């Protein structure tokens, strides 16, 4: 039975993580999973994808607090209790299931930790200069520099809290990853090229 590989990409907001992942995906012809994980979890549990999206939004705000939602089921609107730990467990199950089925790229979602027992992973963290991050967020969100700074600070806080809470490691710390790359220094194409080269060597592609 073929053992599939996973490239796990952690990233600072505004560093172009999705852009790098898309380049790798196109060159290696493998899927990228981020929000797609919510659909996978939805398919497995029977809850709507919108339900998981809402839970995901809330868990990123506070990874410790439990959640209570309204969910439209067959019997009408019902209250559903889902802890953030339950959501994390479901997403982790989806990550492990996908990893067993195909070669792929995971963006965020603590995939590096979830797949820590696999010897077929490459864990990457992407960073960029504050100036580049602000510029990219301004372009994406069509917002002011002040607003971009606020978005970045908020995202960094949420991502680090989420990652640190579930992994007992430090988000963005180089010791948590196989390699850390700056998209500001190298550019998206070069970062993708380096990651592909490492994957080819590690996984004998």
pLDDT digits (tens, 9 = 90+) for 59-109: 555 544 444 343 444 444 344 445 677 778 888 888 999 999 999 999 998
Domain spans in the chain, listed from the N-terminal domain onward: 6-35+92-200
Q: Right CATH number for 6-35+92-200 from 3.30.200.20, 3.40.30.10, 3.30.413.10, 3.40.50.300?
A: 3.40.50.300
Q: Which residues of 105-130 are buried (b: 16+ CB within 10 A; e: fewer)?
A: bbbbbbbbbbbeebeebbbbbbbbee
pLDDT at 91: 84
pLDDT at 162: 87
Question: 36 versus 152: which is more confidently predicted?
Answer: 152
Residues 113-122 have a mean pLDDT of 96
Q: Which of 43-47, 69-73, 192-196 has the lowest mean pLDDT?
A: 69-73
Q: What's the CA angle centered on 160, arms 25 and 146, to 5 degrees?
A: 90
Question: 85 versus 136: which is more confidently predicted?
Answer: 136
């Amino acid at each position: 039975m073929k053992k599939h590989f996973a490239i796990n990409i952690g990233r600072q907001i505004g560093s172009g993580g999705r852009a790098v992942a898309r380049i790798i995906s196109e060159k290696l012809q493998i899927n990228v999973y981020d929000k797609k994980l919510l659909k996978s979890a939805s398919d497995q549990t029977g809850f709507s994808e919108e339900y998981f999206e809402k839970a995901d939004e809330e868990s990123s705000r506070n990874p410790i607090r439990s959640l209570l939602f309204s969910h439209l089921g067959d019997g009408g609107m019902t209250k559903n209790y889902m802890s953030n730990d339950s959501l994390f467990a479901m997403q982790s199950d989806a990550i492990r299931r996908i990893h067993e089925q195909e070669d792929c790229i995971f963006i965020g979602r603590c995939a590096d930790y979830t797949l820590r027992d696999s010897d077929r992973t490459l864990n990457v963290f992407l960073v960029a200069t504050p100036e580049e991050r602000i510029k990219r967020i301004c372009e994406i969100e069509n917002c002011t520099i002040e607003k971009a700074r606020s978005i970045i600070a908020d995202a960094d806080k949420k991502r680090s809290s989420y990652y640190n809470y579930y992994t007992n490691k430090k988000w963005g710390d180089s010791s948590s990853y196989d390699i850390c790359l700056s998209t500001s220094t190298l550019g998206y194409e070069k970062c993708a090229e380096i990651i592909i080269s490492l994957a080819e060597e590690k996984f004998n592609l």
